[in-house]
Structures are given as C-alpha cells and as structure tokens.
Structure 1
Amino acid sequence: MPEGSVLGFDFGERRIGVALGETLIGIAHPHATIDTVVNDERFAAIARLITDWQPVALVVGLPTHADGTPHEMTRLATRFGNRLKSRYGLPVYMVDERHTSQVAESMLGEAGVRGRKQKPVLDQVAAQAILQSFFDGLGTPL
C-alpha cells in the first residue's frame, strides 16, 4: 500500500464514527462523528473528509454476531463499503469489528471519560479501534 492517510469508519444507521491514520506510522486516531440518517448528508461529509485528507484507502468495520455469523448490519456495512468504493474510487478494506465498542468504552474509561460523556466520541473511538486493527494487519479488501 502506498504511504498516506487512511480513513476508518464505524458504520451505524444513525451515526458513523470516523478515524484517521497514516500508513507510515500505522497509528489510528479518532477524528469525527457523522451524525445524520440522510445519505446525501453522510456522503457529502465523507466527500469533504476525502478532499481534506486525500486518503490512499478506506477501512470499514464489518459487524457480525459474536460467533462470526453475519446479520443485517453486516449487509448494511458491506453495502456502505461498496458505495464508498464506487463513489470515490479508492481501495476499501473490511475489518472484523467484533468487540470494538467494548474496546472503545474501555479506552474512554481509562482516559477518564465515563457515562454520558462517552456518547459523543464513542463511535469515532470505535472507528479508531477498527482502523488500528487494519494497521495491525487484519483487513481484507472489498
């Protein structure tokens, strides 16, 4: 993969958490939360992020049941990944996101962010965990 920025997404029907990282150092950081159910607004926000950061790839968390079997959100996240790929012409990787919300809650708790204070940043910290998993070698191309 070429050196450059990578955007990671924790897809949800209401919110999409976004993380940012660089291939050179392989460290992910929470970046933003896209909080809208209107697809045109979601993709406009993503287009702005792509324009601003010029990523070399996109990473999407793939939700499954604890045993790895797919469910409805698996289909929706895959559809989201396919839309990203066709709209922006960038490589898209899917990363198993099982337990990323628990990891995000734990990370925030360790940082002293608890309870209701977690909600505004939880999705972007989950996206950070997804993107970090990609950097750690756990992504598969879409």
Structure 2
Amino acid sequence: MSVEKLDTILGFDFGIKRIGVAIGNSVLRTASPLAVISSIGNDARFGEIAALIQQWEPTLFVVGLPSHPDGTAHDMTARCRKFANQLHGRFSLPVVLVDERYSSAVISAKRGEVIDDRAASIILQQYFDEYVPSN
C-alpha cells in the first residue's frame, strides 16, 4: 500500500477591502474556509498571510481570477494577477490562477455578512475538482 504525499494548499479570494483564505490538501481534495484578512495596507495583509503560511506550511497557492462573464479582463483581473505575483515573489511558492467568474454566485449571503473565506473555499474546491486527479 503506497502513501501519497499530503500537500497543503491555501486558496485566496482577493478583494480590495478583504482577502478570503481557504485551506485544503491534495489527498482529501476538499477545501474549507480558513480566514478573512481585513488589514489595511500590503505589509499588514502579507504579515497575516505569512502567519498562516508558518502555521499551515502550504506547498501551493490558488488565487481566484475574476473576469467579465464573457471571459474578458477588467480592473480586478489585473489586481488579482498582481496579488498572485506578490504571493509568489514574497513566499517563493507556486501560484495557480483559477477562473472565479461564478464562485460568488454560488454563495447566498445575508446582507452585510462576510463571505470572502467561503468564496476562497469555492475557488480552491474548483481547483481540486478541475486540476487534481482523483485516485
């Protein structure tokens, strides 16, 4: 019986005000909401991300990439790409961009409820479903 390597993966739903974070692993192929980063300023945000990395020791990041319904880029598309590049540059881990066009539509939230961590979970689950082979 062979034992597979367990890779922990962090998923991100990047936003201007908040960043949702989810966690999952390559063996179970399931994602769970982990945290919402609401800090102001890049240094504080990346400080919180660094703490999560130290705690969970991921081997990969997954970042949701938004676009218009027809797939064309918009302002947030460029911002998410920049965030993904910063993650890679600061933490030297690979980053996979995943189409997030319909992830927010899956979540029905009450007015004012913070849902960013659940959106990150949907993005990460989409990565597992589309890119990680099942055994």
Could you tell me whether the CA contact under 8 Å between 1:95 and 1:138 is conserved in 2? no
- Asked if 1:80 is matched to 2:73, the reply is no
Normalising by structure 1, we get a TM-score of: 0.86
Question: Which stretches of structure 1, 4 residues or longer, exceed 2 Å deviation after superposition?
Answer: none
Is 1:132 the counterpart of 2:135 in the alignment?
no
Separation of aligned partners in 1, 2:79 and 2:91 = 18
1:98 aligned onto 2:98: no
More helix by share: 1
Q: Is the 8 A contact 1:59 1:93 kept in 2?
A: yes
Contact 1:13 1:37 in 2 (8 A): no
Inter-partner Cα distance in structure 2 for 1:36 and 1:67: 32
State how 1:1-142 maps to structure 2 within 5 Å: 3-105=6-108, 114-116=109-111, 119-120=113-114, 122-138=115-131
Q: Which runs of 5+ in 1 are unaligned?
A: 106-113
> 2:100 and 2:55 mapped to 1: Cα distance?
26
CA shift for structure 1 position 127: 0.2
Percent identity reads 47
Deviation at 1:115, TM superposition (A): 1.5
Determine helix, strand or coil for the equivalent of 1:70. coil
CA RMSD of aligned residues (A): 1.7
Question: What is the TM-score when the length of structure 2 is the normalising length?
Answer: 0.90
Give, in angstroms, the shift of residue 138 of structure 1.
4.7
Cα distance between partner residues in 1 of 2:101 and 2:31: 17
- CA drift at 1:128: 0.3
AA of the residue aligned to 1:119 = E
Gaps of 5+ in 2: none
| Deviation at residue 102 of structure 1 after TM alignment | 1.2
Pair 1:80–1:22, CA change in 2 (3 A): same
Retained in 2: the 8 A contact 1:3–1:56?
no
